[in-house]
């Protein structure tokens, strides 16, 4: 059992799952949170079940999480939990190894516990699994981490408002990686009235402040046989270096880190074969290793004035909160209510068209709402199985995010 790239014929995959409306009622009772999230989560689960049905029909083995595990977790950790949906973010498979890490999203650091039956099965098959090293299963350490993250984020917001120049200089001093310094120097030249730019600076600040922890976002890596393209942005130095050390000790691979970006690199491009990837614009690290971009001629479907990153929430929220704090449950519920009241069905307000799962060279499982874009890909020699996630704007992820390929044929 092994995997070395993103495009060989798919053999085994994980597919996430959201908390159903029933589970939300059990966790939160009769509330707006349960009502609005329940509808979205139930429909997202329907879409994910369709993915599973299709993949099993073509002979792919599919693992799903034990969603009922939440009731055990609730006894220990309370209701500050989220479902095991976007399983791409905290785990990377390479060769016959699984690398699992905590992330800076403190409320998501127990998601791997929903997959214990999978780890047991893989262990029996000889797969070596690295589990997180921060010991956040310990309730005291978990709460301590949450408090630290909260304090750091609040401190950034306060200093950005009251002591911006001092904050900028502090960030400059604490940055520990040249790749991140390059992004920082670019970011500070941008428009600070744009919350997306503030969130980039905040990401750098948070991760540098959390460097005592080993944190990694695994959606920021591409596997291209003996080359790993990895974005260090959404990780701590300790976590990123730990992963690079482990994988280079386990395998003869080269890790390329100069991506020039901060976020997850799978948001708007995907690899379809050994030499090509689909994208809206060229991604320099892939170009540098000789890969060709199959570029779309259709503009990106986006609506930054409505979403990324939800800058317009204050238009329908009476609460004046910095829009960067978009994980507030109260604000999120207000946003979800607004979203459902203005529902467009299969929602096109943010672009995850090229966040797809490659089934085999030049054949993809995608979620594209624009039929012209599907036709465009077909005309360029790419076979598509199009099964969109209807609420991808709200769940903030496409098919690649909500799946994790852990085995491919040689």
CATH code for the domain of 369 = 3.75.10.10
Let me know if residue 70 belongs to a domain.
Answer: yes
Between 32-57 and 329-341, two packed helices, what is the crossing angle to 10 degrees?
A: 70
Of 178, 209, 240, the residue at which a domain comes to its end is 209
Query: 73 with 199, same domain?
Result: no
Query: 273 with 240, same domain?
Result: yes
Let me know if residue 320 belongs to a domain.
Answer: no
Let me know if residue 315 belongs to a domain.
Answer: no
Q: What is the mean pLDDT of residues 108-113?
A: 92
Domain count, the chain: 2
Query: 257 with 401, same domain?
Result: yes
Query: 174 with 295, same domain?
Result: no
Query: 177 with 249, same domain?
Result: no
Query: 188 with 221, same domain?
Result: no
Of 181, 209, 237, the residue at which a domain comes to its end is 209
Comparing 328 with 212, which gets the higher pLDDT?
Answer: 212
Query: 114 with 160, same domain?
Result: no
Comparing 321 with 248, which gets the higher pLDDT?
Answer: 248
Q: What is the mean pLDDT of residues 17-22?
A: 94
Give the structural domain span for 186. 143-209
Query: 297 with 395, same domain?
Result: yes
Is the pLDDT score of 7 beyond 90? yes
Query: 102 with 234, same domain?
Result: yes
Let me know if residue 332 belongs to a domain.
Answer: no
Name the pTM for this structure. 0.91
Is the pLDDT score of 272 beyond 60? yes
Of 209, 230, 247, the residue at which a domain comes to its end is 209
What's the CA gap between 288 and 179, in Å, rounded?
16
Let me know if residue 53 belongs to a domain.
Answer: yes
Return the percentage of the chain with pLDDT > 70, whole number. Answer: 88
pLDDT in tens, 334-392: 667 777 776 655 555 556 888 999 999 999 999 988 888 899 999 999 999 999 898 88
pLDDT on residue 287: 94
Comparing 378 with 268, which gets the higher pLDDT?
Answer: 378
Let me know if residue 317 belongs to a domain.
Answer: no
CB 225 within 8 A of CB 95: no
pLDDT in tens, 301-333: 554 333 433 333 333 334 444 444 444 556 666
pLDDT in tens, 273-291: 999 999 888 899 999 999 9
Model confidence at 294, pLDDT cuts 50, 70, 90, reads very high
Query: 228 with 119, same domain?
Result: yes
Range from 216-225, 252-261, 331-340 carrying the lowest mean pLDDT: 331-340
pLDDT in tens, 90-102: 999 999 999 999 9
Distances (CA, A) of 259 to 92, 307, 379: 18, 24, 30
Element spanning 223, H or E: strand 221-224
The encoded tokens of residue 125 equal 């098959």
Query: 178 with 296, same domain?
Result: no
Is the pLDDT score of 243 beyond 70? yes
Neighbours of 128 (CB within 10 A): 13
Q: What is the mean pLDDT of residues 386-404?
A: 87
pLDDT in tens, 27-42: 888 877 788 788 889 9
Question: Which long-range contacts does 379-382 make (Cβ < 8 Å, 24+ apart)?
Answer: 380/294, 382/272, 382/278, 382/294
CA diameter of the chain: 58
Label the pairing between strands 363-366 and 97-100.
unpaired
CB 152 within 8 A of CB 206: yes
Query: 46 with 160, same domain?
Result: no
pLDDT on residue 226: 96
Let me know if residue 289 belongs to a domain.
Answer: yes
Let me know if residue 318 belongs to a domain.
Answer: no
pLDDT on residue 345: 52
């Amino acid at each position: 059992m092994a995997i070395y790239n993103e495009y060989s014929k798919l053999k085994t995959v994980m597919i996430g799952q959201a908390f159903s409306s029933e589970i939300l009622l059990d966790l939160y009772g009769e509330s707006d949170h349960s009502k609005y999230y329940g509808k979205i989560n139930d429909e997202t689960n329907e879409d994910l079940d369709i993915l599973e049905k299709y993949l099993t029909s073509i002979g792919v083995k599919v693992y799903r999480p034990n969603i009922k595990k939440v009731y055990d977790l609730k006894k220990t950790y309370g209701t500050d939990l989220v479902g095991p949906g976007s399983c791409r973010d905290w785990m990377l498979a390479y060769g016959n190894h699984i690398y699992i890490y905590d992330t800076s999203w403190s409320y998501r650091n127990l998601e791997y516990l929903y997959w214990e039956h999978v780890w047991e099965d893989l262990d029996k098959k000889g797969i070596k699994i690295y589990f997180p090293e921060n010991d956040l299963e310990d309730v005291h350490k978990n709460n301590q981490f949450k408090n630290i993250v909260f304090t750091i984020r609040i401190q950034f917001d306060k200093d950005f408002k009251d002591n911006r120049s001092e904050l900028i200089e502090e960030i400059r001093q604490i940055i520990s990686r040249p790749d991140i310094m390059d992004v920082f120097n670019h970011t500070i030249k941008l428009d600070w009235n744009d919350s997306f730019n503030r969130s980039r600076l905040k990401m750098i600040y948070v991760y540098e402040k959390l460097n005592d922890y080993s944190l990694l976002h695994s959606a920021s890596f591409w596997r291209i046989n003996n080359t790993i393209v990895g974005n260090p942005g959404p990780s701590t130095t300790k976590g990123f270096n730990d992963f690079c050390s482990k994988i280079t000790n386990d395998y003869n691979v080269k890790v390329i880190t100069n991506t020039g970006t901060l976020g997850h690199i799978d948001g708007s491009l995907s690899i379809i074969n050994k030499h090509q990837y689909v994208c809206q614009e060229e991604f320099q690290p892939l170009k540098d290793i000789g890969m060709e971009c199959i570029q779309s001629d259709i503009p990106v479907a986006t609506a930054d004035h409505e979403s990324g990153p939800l800058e317009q929430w204050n238009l329908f929220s009476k609460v004046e909160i910095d829009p960067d704090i978009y994980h507030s449950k109260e604000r999120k519920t207000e946003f979800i209510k607004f979203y459902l009241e203005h529902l467009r069905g299969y929602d096109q307000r943010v672009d995850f068209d090229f966040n797809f799962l490659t089934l085999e060279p030049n054949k993809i499982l995608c979620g594209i709402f624009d039929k012209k874009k599907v036709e465009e890909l077909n005309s360029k020699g790419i076979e598509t199985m199009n099964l969109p996630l209807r609420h991808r704007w709200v769940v903030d992820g496409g098919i690649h995010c909500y799946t994790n390929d852990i085995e491919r044929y040689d």
